[in-house]
Amino acid sequence: MAFEVRPEQPVDRDDVLRVIAAAFGDGGREEHGLQVADIWASLGRHRRAGLVVEQGGHVLGHVGLSSAWVDARRLLVEVWVLSPLSVLPERQGQGIGTALVEAAVGTARRSGVPALFLEGSPDYYGTRGFERADRHGFLPAALERTPRPAFQCVLFEGHEEWMAGQLIYPAVWWEHDAAGLRDPRLAEVEERLRSASAESIES
């Protein structure tokens, strides 16, 4: 049965939070999953958009877009941030995440913002249209706690060269200490990225 990607509706709220908690709770990170779900539920006062994958009346995946800013020298520039991307664990690897990322990029492009940012796996998102943001003069919100390869972006038609600087998250991300990573998780991610880089050089 084919699945449908559609805009999130208010009636989807409980299903969306359930999907987020299940996706991020995998691997013993249940507390983190609940934290991410709480952040997404708290973004009502900020510009935001959500997309869901539905099949047979059931929500199987969700992607969130919320507003942030690039602190450029000339002025603050509004941008979108992609977070979270969530797929039920038992439905991962079936193209649902890819469909949600494609839909999110399209939604951000049509909104008129100059760029879409995220923090995530360069292997996963790099094959889905994202590239390292520091190559365009952008800095992550958590400078010392965001591995540069994981800080990625897609640039749109409205982007201009002067729109460079540090990404600024809304306060809710800082209230939940959800910008960047902290040890030991940060050290684990850095080691994986180093290993992947070494393997790429050797091959």
E strands, the chain, are 4-7, 48-55, 58-71, 76-87, 115-119, 131-132, 138-139, 151-155, 165-168
Q: pLDDT band for position 129 (50/70/90)?
A: very high
Residue 34: per-residue pLDDT: 64
Q: How far apart are CA 175 and CA 100, in angstroms?
A: 27
Q: Is 30 helix (H, G, I), strand (E, B) or coil?
A: helix
Residue 28: per-residue pLDDT: 44
Q: Please check the confidence at residue 185 and state whether its pLDDT lies above 50.
A: yes
Q: pLDDT band for position 196 (50/70/90)?
A: confident
What would the pLDDT profile of 4-16 be if each residue is shown by its tens digit?
A: 999 999 899 899 9
What would the pLDDT profile of 24-74 be if each residue is shown by its tens digit?
A: 875 444 556 667 777 777 766 667 899 999 999 999 999 999 999 999 999
What percent of the chain is modeled with pLDDT above 90?
71
- CATH second-level architecture of 63-202? 3-Layer(aba) Sandwich (3.40)
Q: Is 196 helix (H, G, I), strand (E, B) or coil?
A: helix
Pairing mode, strands 115-119 and 76-87: parallel
Residue 203: per-residue pLDDT: 58
If you compute the radius of gyration of the chain from its CA atoms, what whole number of angstroms results? 17
**Lowest mean pLDDT, pick from 28-32, 41-45, 150-154, 182-186:** 28-32
Residue 43: per-residue pLDDT: 67
Q: Are 117 and 65 in contact (CB under 8 A)?
A: no
What would the pLDDT profile of 79-128 be if each residue is shown by its tens digit?
A: 999 999 999 999 999 999 999 999 999 999 999 999 999 999 999 999 99
Q: How far apart are CA 83 and CA 43, in angstroms?
A: 12
Q: Please check the confidence at residue 171 and state whether its pLDDT lies above 70.
A: yes
Residue 21: per-residue pLDDT: 87
Residue 24: per-residue pLDDT: 84
pTM: 0.91
Q: How far apart are CA 80 and CA 58, in angstroms?
A: 27
